[in-house]
């Protein structure tokens, strides 16, 4: 289950799983590789939806998956913001 703490840890390492592997600890919440890849996947999927490049079925399936794997609405909103920033190049 993805939480704000999970997303904070992901953001701490700039989404770079190699940096996470090299820099263990430091007071950052541990994030499994599975959750890391899930965040990457959701950011990519949400970016496609936000860009209007996804079919309605893909958008609906993405939203259902987002609801199933996140703890609450603030976490979902943050993922949407992360996807928008990634699309904007930053």
Task: Please tell me the total count of domains within the chain.
Answer: 1
**Distance, CA of 62 to CA of 46 (rounded, Å):** 7
Q: Residue 57: its pLDDT value, please?
A: 99
Structure tokens at 34: 């599975």
Q: Inform me whether the pLDDT recorded for 25 exceeds 70.
A: no
The DSSP letter of residue 70 is: B
Domain coverage including residue 50: 4-87
pLDDT digits (tens, 9 = 90+) for 49-85: 999 999 999 999 999 999 999 999 999 999 999 999 9
**31-46, pLDDT tens digit by residue?**
899 999 999 999 999 9
In this predicted structure, what is the pLDDT of residue 8? 95
What pLDDT was estimated at residue 52? 98
Residue labelled with tokens 């920033």: 85
> Is residue 46 a contact partner of residue 83, using CB atoms and an 8 Å limit?
yes
33-39-44 Cα angle (round to 5): 130
Stronger pLDDT, 57 or 16, i.e. the higher one: 57
CA distance 2 to 71: 6
The CA distance from 26 to 7, in Å, is: 16
Is pLDDT larger for residue 84 or for residue 18? 84
């Amino acid at each position: 289950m993805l939480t704000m703490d999970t997303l904070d840890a992901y953001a701490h390492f700039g989404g770079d799983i190699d940096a996470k592997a090299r820099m263990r600890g430091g007071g950052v919440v541990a994030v499994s590789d599975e959750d890391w890849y899930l965040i990457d996947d959701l950011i990519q999927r949400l970016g496609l939806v936000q860009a209007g490049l996804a079919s309605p079925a893909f958008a609906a399936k993405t939203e259902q998956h987002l609801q199933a794997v996140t703890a609450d609405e603030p976490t979902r909103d943050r993922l949407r913001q992360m996807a928008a920033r990634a699309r904007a190049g930053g």
